[in-house]
Each structure stands twice: as C-alpha cells, then as structure tokens.
C-alpha cells in the first residue's frame, strides 16, 4: 500500500488493494455531524468510502416530508452515488453525516476505471444487490405495514431506552412529527413506554413486539 493511502482504508475496503494509482489519489476528509454531503438533483461528485462515522441517505417529497432510505457506515456502499455514476445521472437523494465522519471520495473517472478490476466490480455489484434488497424491504414496510407497527419496530432493538426525538422518528418512518407524537402518547397510555425529553423508555417490550408483528389489532 502506498504511503499516501489513508489509514484503515484497506481494512474497510480491501477490494481496493492492488489499485495503486487510485489509492494514491484518495485523501480523507473530516466533516462534523450535520454536514450535507450531497443533494438531490446534484451531479455525483464521486463514490464515497466511509472510514469513520455514518451517512444518512434520505429522499424528500413535494410535501416536504423526508424518508430515510438507508445509512452508510465504514465498509458499506452508497447505492444512490453508485447508481448516479453508473448511469451518469443526477443524484436521487441527499446524504447527511449523522456524526463526525471521515471519508474518502473516489472520483468518477477513478470509479469507472476501477470497474475493470474484478474484485472492485464484484464488491460494487454485490453491495448494489444488498442495498436493493434493503430498499425492497423498506417499500414493503411502507406499503403493507401499519404505522403503529413500524413505530413499535423502530423502538425495539435499542435496549431499554432509545434516545431520540419525535421528529427524528418521523423522519426515519417517512411521516410527520404530529402523527408519531400521537402514537407515542397512545403507547404511553397503554403502559408500553414512558416518555421524557429526547428519551423513550420501554416498559412493556412484549406488548411492543405484538404491535410490531401485527398481532394486536
């Protein structure tokens, strides 16, 4: 690995090993939480390689509501960016750093040149398929699962407490804060959760799981 390659790059993205000219041109960028990395309808500036932190990718509707599509962590791939590069089309979503994040940006020319490498091409196409499966699950959840079930599912799997806001949950579920607040207060009245400022404590996890699986009408 050349000295110019950022530390931990090959740990998270081993398929780059052997692409020495590409490695030599990659430089890490450090961005604070909340940084807008790319926007809908912008030209794709490159293929992001996340080394630390997390990028939230979401899409906005005409009514101003925002739907989270997925999150990119170290070693993972941004489907929106790769699709934009493959098709040479504007980006279809926006990406925001959710925490202090370190990443490298593989320039469009280097991305297309690297596709000639079998390992790189296999990695990109494999994660492309995995991201599509994730999005298929998201579409199914939105189309077929009730919002109260989706909210209950979002609260589970984070331990006894989830530190978040009603607005953040609304963004995650692709709805508005008022509806999420109404459902959370209903959960609280039913003895399922306790609400406090930017914190939700699960009181009855079995009851929430029943709602998440649709066992409760």
Mention every residue, 6+ apart, whose C-beta is less than 8 A from residue 80: 38, 57, 69, 91, 92, 93, 95
Instruction: Name the token pair of 144.
Output: 């077929």
Q: The pTM is what?
A: 0.64
Please state, in angstroms and rounded to a whole number, the distance separating the CA atoms of residues 41 and 38: 9
What is the pLDDT, as a whole number, of residue 2? 42
Q: Which residue among 128, 143, 158 closes a domain?
A: 143
Q: Which residue among 98, 126, 143 closes a domain?
A: 143
What is the pLDDT, as a whole number, of residue 214? 76
**DSSP label at 37?**
E
Residue 178 lies in domain: 146-212
Phi, psi of 127 (to 5 degrees): -70, -30
Q: Which residue among 103, 125, 143 closes a domain?
A: 143
Count up the domains in the chain and report the number. Answer: 2
27, 73: one domain:
yes
55, 152: one domain:
no
What is the pLDDT, as a whole number, of residue 63? 62
| Greatest Cα pair distance in the chain | 61
Q: pLDDT below 50 — which residues of the chain? A: 1-3, 217
What is the pLDDT, as a whole number, of residue 41? 93
């Amino acid at each position: 690995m050349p000295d110019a390659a950022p530390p931990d790059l090959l740990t998270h993205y081993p398929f780059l090993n052997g692409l020495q000219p590409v490695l030599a041109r990659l430089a890490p960028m450090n961005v604070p939480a909340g940084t807008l990395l790319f926007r809908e309808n912008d030209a794709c500036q490159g293929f992001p390689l996340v080394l630390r932190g997390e990028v939230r990718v979401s899409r906005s509707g005409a009514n101003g509501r925002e739907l989270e599509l997925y999150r990119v962590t170290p070693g993972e791939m941004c489907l929106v960016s790769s699709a934009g590069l493959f098709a040479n089309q504007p980006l279809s979503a926006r990406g925001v750093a959710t925490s202090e994040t370190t990443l490298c940006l593989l320039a469009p020319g280097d991305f297309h040149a690297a596709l000639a490498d079998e390992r790189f091409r296999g990695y990109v196409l494999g994660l492309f398929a995995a991201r599509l499966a994730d999005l298929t699950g998201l579409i199914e959840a939105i189309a077929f699962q009730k919002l109260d079930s989706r909210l209950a599912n979002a609260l589970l799997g984070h331990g006894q407490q989830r530190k978040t806001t009603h607005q953040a949950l609304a963004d995650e579920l692709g709805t508005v804060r008022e509806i999420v607040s109404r459902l959370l207060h209903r959960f609280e009245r039913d003895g399922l959760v306790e609400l406090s400022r930017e914190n939700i404590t699960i009181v009855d996890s079995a009851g929430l799981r029943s709602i998440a699986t649709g066992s409760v009408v």
